[in-house]
Structure formats: C-alpha cells, structure tokens
Structure 1
Amino acid sequence: MKYNTIDLFAGCGGLMDGFMQEGGFNTLACVEWETFPCQTLANRLEKRWHHKNAKEEVVRFDIQRTDELINGFDDEEYGKHIGLKKLIGDKKIDLVIGGPPCQAYSLAGRIRDPHGMRDDYRNYLFESYIRILEYFRPAFFVFENVVGMLSAAPDGTPIVDKIRKAFDDAGYCVIDDFKNAVYDVADFGIPQHRKRVIILGVSKTLNANDSNLGRKVLDEFYKEQMPKFISSASPKTVKDAIGDLPIILPCKEVIKENGHKFSHQPTDGSGVMNHVPRFHSERDQRIFSMLAEDIESGKNQYVSIEALKKLYTEMTGKKSNIHKYYVLRWNEPSNTIPAHLYKDGMRHIHPDPVQARSITVREAARLQTFADDFEFLGPMMAQYKMIGNAVPSDFAKIIAKGVYQLLSKYEINI
C-alpha cells in the first residue's frame, strides 16, 4: 500500500525525494514559494518519479495565504492555480511532511541579525503548517527544523511551547520534550554532521477505542524505529562522499564564457552535473591551498579559531569575530552544509590542496546524499542555497521507513 503525502516548505525536494525512495509514499502536492527550488522539484518529480502532472503538483505560492492555497488563486506574482482542494480531489492525505524555513530559529541567524530574529515573520510559519493539517486531517505529520528552535523565544515565550500547544489544539499528539527528538544525521550514515529536530505528530483520533494509541506510536517511533537505523559502522566520510568525483584544477588564466568568469576547469571532461566551482581569486586560491596543505601535512598550524582569524586579517586586512576558513577533512564527516554556502565557500574548502577551491554544487549535494541524477536548476548560487536548506535525502528515507512501518502496523480509520 502507498500512503499519500503533501510536502510543505518543500524546497528542492530533499525530504520528498527520501520519502519517494522509500517506496511506500506517493507525493500529491508540494508547496514552495521560491522559483528555482520549484523548477528543480518539478523537474525531479517528472524525470525521476514520472509524474505527468508535476508542474501543477508543485505549487509555487505563499503558504501564509492559506485560504487561497487551498481554494485556488490567480496572482500577479505566483500565477494561477486550482488550489490544493481541487488538486487533491477525493484522495485521502495520510501524511504531511515539511519544515518551515529555519533561519529565524538558527543560532547563526540570531547572531547575525541585530534584533536576534525577534521580528522575523518566519518565527510563526508553523501556524500555516498547522492550518493545512487542520484542513486535510492526516493521520501523521513529520515536522523538521533546526536545533536552534529549542531555544528560540522571539516574544519572550519559548517557541517550542507555542508549537506544542498549537499541535495539541489541532488534535495531534507530539513528544513531550523536543530535546529527545534531536538527531545528528552523521549517526545514520550521512557523511555530514547536521543536527535536526524531527517531530512526529499523531492524530488523537487515530483509534477511537484507544485514547493512548498516539502516545504508543510516538514511543515506538522514538524508542524503537529511529534507534534501529543508527549505524554501527564507522561514520561515512568526506572521502566516501566525494573522493571519486573528477579533479578540478585551477586554470592558468581566467576563462571568460557567456559573461561568466571561471578560475577552475574539470580535467577529464566527465560531464558530471553541477560539478563546476565558483570563481576564486588568486589570493583565495593561495589561502585554500595553504590551509589544505597544512591539514594534509599534519603541521596543523591553522586549525585553531584564533589562528584562522589572525590569518584572515593578515590576508584581507579585515577583522572577523568568527573564523572564516574551514577545510573539510577527508577522513571525517563534513561540517554542516548550510544555505549560507551560496554567499561564500570559505568554510567548505576542498581537502585537496592541489585543487585550491571550495566545494562544487555536486559535492555539496553528495554530502547531502542527493543522487547524482538529481539535477539542480537555476543560477549556481540558488543551487547552493537550495541544497543547504534541504533535508539529506538518505536521512529522509530513514524517517520514511520508520513512519511507513507505523502507518502499516496500526489501522488508520480517520
């Protein structure tokens, strides 16, 4: 049996793709407001999952305008759409998945914003998520977000208290302490350290004859299902993820093509999709090579935060309160792949000193466990951003396996 899903805040589809890979889920609709992730998502649904109606199933719209999203809209910015109600028709929605944009909850975002993200509208996008739950009444939902959510309190009240109460008012059981819903994806065989909160919600009306069933399902998910997927093998490393990709060396001279400048060029012409690095100045190439060589040689002169901050000042004449450089280690999982990667790649320097560059879109995608046939559309910076915002697809598949087993085990009567 396949269960029908709606994906909210879908991005380019990391969560969706993992659920589709599991094999027991069928995506009926994805909601996302940014153009290039929508194009990427529709392309993936059509080419990989053979959805003939992919362009309509991917709904580009502002989820805060929930009534229009459900009933249809004709908008100057977003175009025209029949709405989720007609798109879904008489099909039953078993599961809603997704997570509101994390920037308002992230610790880094709060540090960078002078107001600590207190005035950011994204603090309350969970309310739009809940309105979709209330309309379609799925048996389960999966709500994903950053660990910073646990400490966010934009108006003085912890956001987790608001979210927990909102889910309860909407008729769903969730785990009592969200701290017990935190996972580092590296523990599940993902070649990257990335901590996320995974909230499973279970309808209180799952079974009218057993008012405690929701709690039983939650206990089984967190105490049995998720732990059994934790890998007992050695962590997957950067080398495991990207070590076989074509080498990309610096050019002797800057290449100019179609209005773009290139500082690097693949050496073997293999044609791997999205495997071209951003432009790097000669100064940055020297820094990247020096830092990677420092790690490779074992000298480790530039591994402390203070040494990296000092180097940044010496090389650029600027000062920074945080260290700007980080070289990926071949034999360790990567640091977190963030959306911020679209602004610069200095904290994701390739570990090969000869290549003297930051990671490519494809390398970022590999570290996020996207398949090589997953094509990212739009400008390079948009591709980095959508990858950094995504849920690693292999981790999404693990969540999907746990959820599918629970949906299959318990009779769903709602």
Structure 2
Amino acid sequence: MSHGVAISLFSGCGGLDVGVEQANYEVRAAVELNQDAADSHEKNFSHLGAPVIRRDILDVPTRDILRAAGLTGRERPDLLIGGPPCTPFSKSGFWLDWKRAGLDPDASLLQAYTRVLAEAKPRLFVLENVYALTYNNKASRPAFDRLLREIDDAGYTFTWRVLNAADYGVPQARPRLIIVGAPKSRRKTPLLPEPTHTGKWERRSTGSAEGLPHVSAGKALAGLITEPEPSEIVGGQFGHLLPGVPPGDNYLFYTAERGHPDPLFKWRSRFWSFLLKLDPERPAPTIQAQPGPYVGPFHWENRRLRVAEMKRLFGYPDDFHLVGSRNSAQAQLGNSVPPPLARQVVEALHTSTSS
C-alpha cells in the first residue's frame, strides 16, 4: 500500500527516488537540469505524473512542480526529497580559495530546496548533501546554519546526522549528510535509522557493534557478468603502475616510507585515491562523480570499474537503466544516493512520524 505522493528535486538519475519507492512512496514529479540524468530518470520512472521538469530550479515555481505531480488546490505532497548539488561544500573542492571563502553561487540551491519546502508544505521531507557541509569553516558553517534556520522557519522539526552508506548494507563507504523533518504541528520527532552493519572506515570503527559486517566489494560483485568497456584501460603516465599496487592499497605503495626499493612518489604527495585499488574483502571507497585519470577506486583486475559494477557498489537494481556515455553514467551514479540507504532513511522517517 502506497504511503503517498513524493516530489523529487535535484533528482539526478534517481538513486534517492529508487529508495523512496522501495519504501512505498510514489515519485510523481521530478526536477533535473542535466539531460542525461533526466533521460535516465524518465527511463526508470515511467509512472511520473508528467515528464521530468528540465529547467533550472531557480526558475521553476513551486506551483509548476505540484501541478506536474497531479496536485491541485490545497493538496500537498506526502514527501519532499532532494539533494542540492554539493559543489560549494565538497571536501575535494576546498583547495579553491573562493570555495573556502563561501563565494560559490551554487550555494543558493540550498535555498531553492527550502523555498519549495515552505511553499509546498509536504507532510515529510528528506534532504541529502555532502557531509562537508557540516564542517566548521567559512564556506560550510554559515550555509549549514542558514539551512537549518530556514527549515525551522518553514515550520518543521528536524533531525540530522552524517550516515555512512556502508553501515546500512551498501558495499561502499559513502558518508552523506541526511536531514529529515516533519511539521511541528505533528508533535512527532522524525528519526533516522540506526546502523545495521559494522566495520572500519578511515581507520575507525563505524556502524553498530552488534551489526552484520560491512558488505564487501567482492561479495557485491560476485556472479556479475559484464562486458569489457573501451574506456576501462588505465594508460598514460602512471597507468602501468596499477598492476603493482596490492588490492586495497594506493600510490603510497611506491614510496620509501613503505619500503619500496625504487620510490616513485613522496609520502602523502597525492590525493588518497590516486591509484587506489578495490579490496575485495572490504566495501568500496567512495566512488567519485568526476575522477581524474588516475583516481580510483580501480578494480582489483587493474582496470576502471564497469558501469554494471558501479551500480552494484551503489546498491542499484541490475536492470536500472543509465542513459549516456560511460563517463556520464559514472557522474550520474557518483552524484546519487545509494538506494538501500535512501529506503532505510524513508522507512525510519515514516515509522517515527506515523500516528
């Protein structure tokens, strides 16, 4: 039985939306500017009330979104979901002075979400973003404080926490900021799900001590039959070094500090994911949307991951269709929320706020 109508903002290819529908909500309207991502969304969500709204959300009135969902008059959605693009607050972007100073104009997209929240008045909401938004620096903290203040001003009580997807059965260590909320009038505290799995992430334990072990990349990819992809070969200046890197290791294997007889790199001279290779016994590290030519994780077979493999490592159904090139598919996946995490977030939110 459906819990009601959901509206999706910054929809991408629909990772958050897949989880929402697995939690028994029906996505009836979506807003996404990227053409490949919008095409992917329409391929996988053919039941939308109208085609994906392919416009800049700053120029899309809330009434147009509600109309696309088939809501008229005083009808309001049961659930609002979305993850505003994380460019201004991405950890990998803080080396840019103007981003550290909080001058990225894309930051206003957070306000596009809270504008729709205040005007559409959904019964529940889920907002997702990069966990670096919670950092105490000039770019992140003022924006995060403003976001929480605007949610409060819109009339919602909320709960936020950084959740690692691996702690919820996803075979990828992917920390994301999740905020869930409900109208103050409901007098119910919206809750986030408790971890179901446990393991190590960046040298520390995460998840539930009583939980199942993290799902490994090897287990997730077991039995998957894929065809080679033309762009999977790692060539260029450093590609020939990849076969020498042990599974789970990176460029540091070729340093004097690690005892290499012919060191090629200085200690901590590169980004951590440079020549990073998957360990089949552990979850995949975070898969980026737009990695450089030598940025992993790479497969332990010394190649780039194939699209079908990336879908498994995000927890997408095997039959989920992605439109566009291989690079476009990785961008769509790398910008998305793993569906199993999204499902558990929505289930916990629904359960905690139901009367």
TM-score band (shorter)? 0.7 to 0.9
> What is the TM-score with the length of structure 2 in the denominator?
0.84
CA drift at 1:337: 1.2
CA drift at 1:373: 0.1
Q: What is residue 109 of structure 1 aligned with on the other side?
A: 93
1:105-157: per-residue Cα shift (whole Å, max 9, x none)?
12211124654362212222111111111221111111111110011655696
**CA gap 1:156/1:406 in 2 versus in 1, 3 angstroms:** closer
Count the aligned residue pairs. Answer: 335
Secondary structure in 2 matching 1:340: coil
Q: Distance in 2 between matches of 1:286 and 1:25?
A: 48
1:204-254: per-residue Cα shift (whole Å, max 9, x none)?
122xxxxxx14xx23xx14xxx12645611110010112333476xxxxxx
The question of whether the paired residues in 2 share the 8 Å contact of 1:57 and 1:87 is answered with no
Q: What is residue 202 of structure 2 aligned with on the other side?
A: none
Q: Distance in 2 between matches of 1:155 and 1:286?
A: 38
The question of whether the paired residues in 2 share the 8 Å contact of 1:277 and 1:360 is answered with no
Q: Distance in 2 between matches of 1:279 and 1:351?
A: 13
Q: What is residue 195 of structure 1 aligned with on the other side?
A: 175
Secondary structure in 2 matching 1:88: coil
Q: Given the alignment of the two structures, is residue 89 of structure 1 paired with residue 89 of structure 2, yes or no? A: no
Q: Distance in 2 between matches of 1:390 and 1:204?
A: 29
Q: What is residue 76 of structure 1 aligned with on the other side?
A: none
Q: Given the alignment of the two structures, is residue 288 of structure 1 paired with residue 267 of structure 2, yes or no? A: no
Deviates further, 34-43 or 159-168: 159-168
The question of whether the paired residues in 1 share the 8 Å contact of 2:128 and 2:178 is answered with yes
Q: Distance in 2 between matches of 1:108 and 1:197?
A: 16
The question of whether the paired residues in 2 share the 8 Å contact of 1:182 and 1:196 is answered with yes
CA drift at 1:360: 1.4
What root-mean-square deviation, in Å, do the aligned CA atoms of Structure 1 and Structure 2 show? 3.0
Secondary structure in 1 matching 2:173: coil
The question of whether the paired residues in 1 share the 8 Å contact of 2:88 and 2:139 is answered with no
One-letter amino acid matched to 1:60: R
Secondary structure in 1 matching 2:312: helix
Q: What is residue 201 of structure 2 aligned with on the other side?
A: none
1:362-396: per-residue Cα shift (whole Å, max 9, x none)?
21211111111011111211111110010001111
* Structure exhibiting the larger radius of gyration computed from Cα positions: 1
The one of 331, 347, 350 equivalent to 1:401 is 347
Q: Distance in 2 between matches of 1:123 and 1:173?
A: 23
**CA gap 1:155/1:195 in 2 versus in 1, 3 angstroms:** closer
Which 5+ residue runs of structure 2 have no aligned equivalent?
Answer: 199-210
Q: What is residue 344 of structure 1 aligned with on the other side?
A: 293
Q: What is residue 311 of structure 1 aligned with on the other side?
A: 264
CA drift at 1:358: 1.7
Q: Given the alignment of the two structures, is residue 227 of structure 1 paired with residue 227 of structure 2, yes or no? A: no
**CA gap 1:87/1:7 in 2 versus in 1, 3 angstroms:** closer
Q: Distance in 1 between matches of 2:140 and 2:126?
A: 26
Q: Given the alignment of the two structures, is residue 241 of structure 1 paired with residue 192 of structure 2, yes or no? A: no
One-letter amino acid matched to 2:222: G
Q: Distance in 1 between matches of 2:300 and 2:106?
A: 35
**CA gap 1:43/1:156 in 2 versus in 1, 3 angstroms:** closer
Q: What is residue 65 of structure 1 aligned with on the other side?
A: 59
What pairs with 1:14-413 in structure 2 (closer than 5 Å)? 14-22=15-23, 24-46=24-46, 51=47, 53=48, 56-67=50-61, 70-72=62-64, 84-85=66-67, 87-90=69-72, 91-112=75-96, 115-116=99-100, 118-151=102-135, 153-154=137-138, 158-175=142-159, 178=160, 181-206=161-186, 213-214=187-188, 217-218=189-190, 221-222=191-192, 226-227=193-194, 229-230=196-197, 232-246=211-225, 266=228, 277-281=231-235, 284-291=238-245, 294-295=246-247, 302=253, 311=264, 321-323=270-272, 324-341=274-291, 343-344=292-293, 346-352=295-301, 356-407=302-353, 409-410=354-355
Q: Distance in 2 between matches of 1:108 and 1:198?
A: 19
The question of whether the paired residues in 1 share the 8 Å contact of 2:7 and 2:69 is answered with no
**CA gap 1:188/1:89 in 2 versus in 1, 3 angstroms:** closer
CA drift at 1:187: 1.1
The question of whether the paired residues in 1 share the 8 Å contact of 2:234 and 2:294 is answered with no
**CA gap 1:366/1:303 in 2 versus in 1, 3 angstroms:** farther
Secondary structure in 2 matching 1:339: coil
Aligned-residue identity in percent = 26
One-letter amino acid matched to 1:382: S
**CA gap 1:104/1:156 in 2 versus in 1, 3 angstroms:** closer
Secondary structure in 1 matching 2:95: helix
Secondary structure in 2 matching 1:183: strand
One-letter amino acid matched to 1:289: P
**CA gap 1:301/1:380 in 2 versus in 1, 3 angstroms:** closer
The question of whether the paired residues in 2 share the 8 Å contact of 1:345 and 1:358 is answered with no
The question of whether the paired residues in 1 share the 8 Å contact of 2:247 and 2:280 is answered with no
Secondary structure in 2 matching 1:174: strand
Q: Distance in 1 between matches of 2:141 and 2:194?
A: 31
Q: Distance in 2 between matches of 1:9 and 1:329?
A: 32
Deviates further, 89-98 or 27-36: 89-98
Deviates further, 226-235 or 96-105: 226-235
Secondary structure in 2 matching 1:398: helix
> What is the TM-score with the length of structure 1 in the denominator?
0.73
Q: Distance in 1 between matches of 2:254 and 2:167?
A: 24
Q: Distance in 2 between matches of 1:150 and 1:321?
A: 25
The question of whether the paired residues in 1 share the 8 Å contact of 2:168 and 2:195 is answered with no
CA drift at 1:163: 1.0
